[in-house]
Structure 1
Amino acid sequence: MNALPSAASFGAALQAAREAAGSQDYPAGTLYVVATPIGNRADITLRALHVLQIVDAIACEDTRHTQQLLRALGIERSPAQLIAVHQHNESGAAQAVVERLLRGERVAYVSDAGTPGVSDPGARLVDAARAAGLRTLPLPGASSVTTLVSAAGLRADGPQASAFVFAGFAPAKAAERAAFVQGLAAEPRAIVLLEAPHRIEALAQSLAAAGDRLLTIGRELTKQFEDIATVPAHAFAGWLAESPQRRRGEFALVLHPLPATAAGDGAVDASAQRTLRLLLAELPTKSAVRLAAEISGAPRNALYALALQWREDADDDGA
């Protein structure tokens, strides 16, 4: 992958953005939620380039980081036009943004990378705007979640194959992280996780409990030293240990779906199925599955998959 483009490289892109997006309507008093590149600046969209030029202010997770990105894109905004809205001040800062919106200003929100509100700040700001009766206009773009899912090669051989669960970051404390990963074992669908480099080895040790279940690793996605690999979950720690470079950078992970043979009806006999149906009538799915597994001895993963399938069948029948 080539080096990142410079500010001069975006001159034509800024002109193209004005031509492609300039004729669209950009209402006043609107919060624009703008996805930004997760690594390669060339992944910025034309509409994002245009909006970042025309809004009255840009709320951002880190004003210094955003100023650097804007300058790299060839966009000049004064420091007074940048508003810090991050995880430590989001609730209070959101009200200041709402006041601007109520005055008829256009305000964009960007996180440090990717799509705001997806394991990044932004959700509280959007909620505050909604509560004030204001419009939020999302500008889709880069996301490490969908980027890695698209490259994971998840099989399409079952009703849950194309579905995935976004679990985000695992807890930092060892006991909580182990319980978190253990809870994932009951989920038959693919699971997307994010992790920082200083905690990736600890997560790898915890994920070893998933055994032969496939794990796709995305490291430094879209960047110059991007690395994508698929290994059994138990081999992840060994994969990391093969090179110091592999323990650097930001990570996205996809734990693949359970194989159909591990999640199908065949692993659950008629008695266990009857127990599960009775419990599902009275309890939430997870509680019903846990008790059914304890009573019948059937695999919890298979019971959970069966419960999800029954729920989907019921939804289809009611449609």
Structure 2
Amino acid sequence: MPQQRINAIRDALAEHIHGKPAAIDATLTCLIAGGHLLIEDVPGVGKTTLAYALSRAIHCDFNRVQFTSDIIPSDIVGVSVYQKDRSQFEFLPGPVFANIVLADEINRASPKAQSALLEAMERGLVTSDGVSHPIDRPFMVIATQNPVDFESTFPLPSAQLDRFLMRISLGYPDDQSERDMLRHGALHYDDMEIQSVAEKGDIADLQSQAREVFMEESIYDYIHSIVTRTRQHPQIEVGISPRGALAFKAALQAAALVDGRSFVEPNDIRRFAVPCLAHRLRLRERYDFEYGWQNAAHLIEEILNAQPAPHLKD
């Protein structure tokens, strides 16, 4: 049953996100792991469409926040407004109160506005005037960044990056997929007819099942060895934190479930080490935005290649 539900969601997304099966699987893995996703890519490759299609496929609320330099925290989380007729303040929820929230061009907002998402992403709630307001589950932030246009941007601090389970790119579609898109035209994302193939409760069930996916002791040792090596590498100033290691574990269990397995295998680690770990590293030598991430990804791959993968017991 879980595999049928996952396949149905995957197929619904593939109807509108052409030629990107790896990105679709990464998004599903992130959702089932209960994490948030950072997509860094040029405009027009389908980032917004992916977020919207996901929300429709799982019958969830969707909000899009366009981040700009003048946006303030209350534009994101909401504000308390005094109601004169009742002589009390009433909290008016902001756009972060949705199941799937697209934070478009998140690095264009000031650090103060960016930090407004921190509590929501970490705890799934917003605190205003000392009162906590929970966000309905599932809750996933899909943030985007443009890797080639840095004018008037604010790089995400390490604390913000650490809230994202994965960092991925979509890239351009393959030749056949792009030809198909040209033949059939394209609709604006909110004009698309996307049938819901799952409900909120289904996602909660999948998240619960992912936490039960089996991990052999050798897999735990393999993860620990990789994490430890990031803290010891001479080119890395700050390696993977315990929170990052736990998030990586959750992603691996979700990835196995997405693949229809009840156990994590070493190949899961090799597939998701770069998306889950590279953006969490702080390198000793400072690089520009895109090259810095590429170098971090190279270091993760270097660590993987230097560490033999375990052989699972029969």
TM-score per shorter chain, which class? under 0.3
Structure with bigger RCO (C-alpha 8 Å, 6+ apart): 2
Q: So what's the TM-score if we normalise by structure 2?
A: 0.26
Q: So what's the TM-score if we normalise by structure 1?
A: 0.26
